[in-house]
Amino acid sequence: MSKPENGQQLPAICWPVPKNNRGGEFSNLEEMLAHLEGEATGHWLIGRHGMWHGGIHITDTSTPWCALSGQSMNEAVDFPVPFKGEQPVRCMADGEVVAYRINRDYLSMPWYWGDLHYSGSFVLIRHRIQPGETAESGLTFYTLYMHLAPWLAYPEPDSTAFKVADGQYLNAYVDVPRQWVVAELPPGTRVIWDKAVSADTMTGSNGRQYARVTLAEPVTGRMNLNAGDRVWTVCDKGNLVPVRDSIIRPAWWSPFLPPSRETVQFDTVVCPTPYPIKAGAPVGHLGYFQIPTDNGHEKRYQVHIECLTTDDLPRFLSNPEGVGRDTPAFARCPKDIPVYLKYTDGEIYKGLITTESETVIALSGQAVTDKEGKCYWPEGGMSRGLLAESDVQLLSRYDLADRGFEATEDNPVSFDHLDGKRQPKGLVRTIFERFFNVAINDGKLYSKIVAFNYRQLLEQIDDAKSPRYNPELYRRAVQNPSMREHLYRLCVKHPSEWYYSSESSVWKAFFTPQLKRDAPEWYAYSMKFLTDLRWMYRVAGMVENPWHMHPLVFLDAINNIGMTLDEARVRAFMRMIRVGEGTVGEVGYETLFGKQSFIKDYHKDFSDHPNIIITRSTLKSSSSAAGAYQVMGYTWNDPNMLSYRKKYGIVDFSPKSQDEFCVLILKYKRKGALKLIIDGDIDGALDILSYEWASLPPARYPQPTKSKSEVMSLYNKYLLEELSGETDLHLPIGYIKQVYNGV
């Protein structure tokens, strides 16, 4: 990434995984965190065995649709029903790839009952946020995705599988002289073509290249052709393109996938010339992981995600430029301030209750003023009350320290924070102090009991006469669900286990002679595991003790909504429709049912729908469909749609108006479709919209139809482009939200 410059930089941000196998999106941070509550491993800061853990785990327990089964025998035994890799793990923010390691296959380690497998594949992505005008306001940070599925977990694509390219309609011939056209192959028609068979490729007298292909699906034309029939068709100039398999490969693998020719370097840390990657781009799938136990092994698929920075994090948390304070998004509310009520007569009165604790609330509504001009903000709680602006501290989105984010440094003697032998004087004690202060200042009755419990723990830690303790008791106190909000906002500068070797002092406290003597197998396993996974010391700019931020909570806090994922989904779906309808590109906005132009061929313009009825002999049907979305004349002039056109100011048939009218179809003609797309339920949307567009599966009409895998591949491709700001639509950002809300 280039060095910081003047000017605002706000990267797009998204969740690392979807909420279901259809690509549905979590609506907010609380829903995302609730989804991961069932995870047994990978807890923030202190893991289940008391070890340092500077990230989070997402496993097949919560998110099986992001797991991908490979070919190993161990996987088949542990998981007889393979995972299909239906959805990828995603890049969380716009950035650039700065380091990676691609394992060819899973790494292995001998154990009592056979080899155990795990993945050392990772990708490190660098990001930059600069909410203000100068670099002083910014932060360079990284997201890390570890234990990703290796190269061989992804099946090789079929080299003989092709399809007719988007926008192409190819004649199909049954004879070598090409005198008998039996059908037209529409875009997306799947065929089998073995380039290795020389007899199946020829050059015609016109100089064009032709291929003899086997149809992989039926085609309707002058003759009805079946799957398995063989025909000749033109194959040069990109008319036939390879069909990719349905499992989405990591976007950062692009330098190693066709047509690129760069050689993959397996099983080593690579620091390439940084190259860009967008929020939402696939970074891989959950990797297979076996962990030894006394009685066998645990097994799961997982990804370990971290958010790191080597910058001055406390400075960034303080919002040094005061960005956004003129348009506050939050309010810090002290304990015991009055809650006001607005009555039906418009008067505002002081209520009978006060705030029970100090909180930070999102300003979810507009401020109101009383007759004296005093300003109040909605409290947002069950009381539906108001808080006087004079009683609260208004905050910018970027006032992170005032919003509850706290930075602390720890220099432990060991990565094992809860060994049961030495009272934890560092990070764990800091966490207990934080929780005690929260509880003692809270007005709720049960908070006094919580404060008492943490006071006892602190006294026990400080008691020199009792060095031994119950590690599980301390661990549970760290992971107290009622303190989750405060734990997740604690940012820690701490040594990274990915930086140090087993010979370093911070590991020697763990790899003791006693461990080697009493549990030699555990000792050997841990040593090899650490060596196989270590990488950070190889990456320029990384340090041994970076700042660690909770990857979900921190990125949610800095997320400045621009192009939302909701809007990007609808735009991607619209572009996918156009491929099936054969209207890609600017020329698509003037295309008729018969693929002619209503401007060039019929001398119409964009002032109104052309209402030209075209009869297509190959389909034995007539249609008035026109434009990018092949809108029928009767749909355009439907009385209900006319009223919506008037409401939203659609006065012509220009490209912008066509895009806008398509959104109206999704909202008002095919009711429920717009919400399904926004929710990420593409299957549900296709089920409804295949009645509107014949090219969409599951083929409601006797016309050429895209397969489910094809439309999903197109949709995913366009979704990434829209999130990155790449589009060929004329639709203004914000219009979809306006229509969805009925404004």
Sheet (strand 330-333) strand order: 359-362, 330-333, 393-395
Instruction: Read off the pLDDT of residues 311-330 as tens digits, 9 standing for 90 and up.
Output: 999 999 999 999 989 888 88
- Check if the beta carbon of residue 579 is closer than 8 Å to that of residue 166: yes
* pLDDT > 90 in the chain, percent: 58
H/E/C letters for each residue in 251-297? HHHHHHCCCCCCCCCECCCECCCCEEECCCCEEECEEEEEEEECCEE
Question: Which residues are tagged catalytic?
Answer: 581
- Residue 220 contacts by C-beta under 8 Å, 6 or more apart in sequence? 183, 618, 619, 702, 703, 704
- Are 107 and 118 in contact, with CB atoms under 8 Å apart? yes
Report the predicted TM-score, pTM, of the whole model to 2 decimal places. Answer: 0.71
b/e per residue, 89-123, with b = 16+ CB within 10 A? bbbbbbbbbbbbbbbebbbbbebeeeebbbbbbbb
**∠ Cα 595 599 602 (to 5°):** 80
Arithmetic mean of pLDDT, 190-216: 89
Contacts for 461 with CB less than 8 Å, ≥ 6 apart: 423, 424, 425, 428, 429, 432
What single DSSP character describes residue 207? Answer: S
CA-closest candidate to residue 572, choices 742, 718, 694, 368: 718
CA dist 108 and 528 (Å) reads 9
Instruction: Please confirm whether the linkage preceding 551 is cis (ω < 30° from 0).
Output: no
pLDDT at residue 158 tops 70? no
Burial of 476 (0-12, 13-18, 19+ CB in 10 A): exposed
HSE-CB for 262 with a 13 A CA cutoff = 11
Q: Name the β-bridge partners of 282.
A: 90
Amino acid at 388: A
Q: What is the pLDDT of residues 21-75, one digit of tens each?
A: 877 778 789 999 999 999 999 999 999 999 999 999 999 999 999 999 998 888 9
The 10 Å Cβ neighbour count of residue 735 is 17
The secondary structure of residue 666, as a DSSP letter, is: I
> Averaged over 611-617, what is the pLDDT?
78
Q: How many CA atoms lie within 13 A of 48 on its CB side?
A: 6
Residues in the chain: 743
CA–CA dist 314, 556 (Å, integer): 18
561 pLDDT above the threshold of 60: no
Between the CA atoms of 361, 362, 364 and 369, what dihedral angle is there, to the nearest 10 degrees? 60
In this prediction, residues 13-22 reach a mean pLDDT of 88
Res 379 pLDDT > 80: no
Nearest to 161 by CA among 590, 707, 602: 707
pLDDT in tens, 676-716: 999 999 999 999 999 999 999 988 887 778 888 899 999 99
β-pair type (201-203, 282-284): unpaired
Return d(Cα 361, Cα 206) in angstroms, integer: 72
Of 66-75, 338-347, 589-598, 677-686, the poorest mean pLDDT is in 338-347
Taking alpha carbons only, the member of 99, 54, 102 closest to residue 539 is 99
Rounded Cα distance, 200 and 179, in Å: 18
Contacts of 668 (CB under 8 A, 6+ apart): 640, 641, 644
Which DSSP state fits 664?
A: H
In order of 33, 491, 493, the CA distances from 313 in angstroms are 24, 9, 9
Helix extents (H) in 375-504: 427-440, 445-462, 471-478, 484-488
Q: Are strands 107-109 and 116-118 parallel, antiparallel or unpaired?
A: antiparallel
What are residue 241's phi and psi, to 5 degrees? Answer: -125, 150
Q: Look at residue 1 and tell me whether its pLDDT is greater than 90.
A: no
Q: What average pLDDT does the segment 383-409 reach?
A: 92
For 510-535, how does the pLDDT look when each residue is reduced to its tens digit (9 = 90+)?
A: 888 888 898 888 888 889 999 999 99
Q: Are 537 and 545 in contact (CB under 8 A)?
A: no
Q: Is 9 helix (H, G, I), strand (E, B) or coil?
A: strand
- The pLDDT of residue 223 is 81
What pLDDT is attached to residue 2? Answer: 46
User: What is the model's pLDDT at position 213?
Assistant: 95
Identify the CA nearest to 529 among candidates 124, 108, 50, 57.
Answer: 108
List pLDDT tens digits, range 106-154.
999 988 878 899 999 999 999 999 999 899 999 999 999 999 999 999 9
CA distance 478 to 432: 7
Contact 387, 380 (CB under 8 A): no
Give the Cα separation of 443 and 463 in Å (integer): 29
**3-state SS class at 491:** strand
How is residue 170 written in tokens?
């190819």
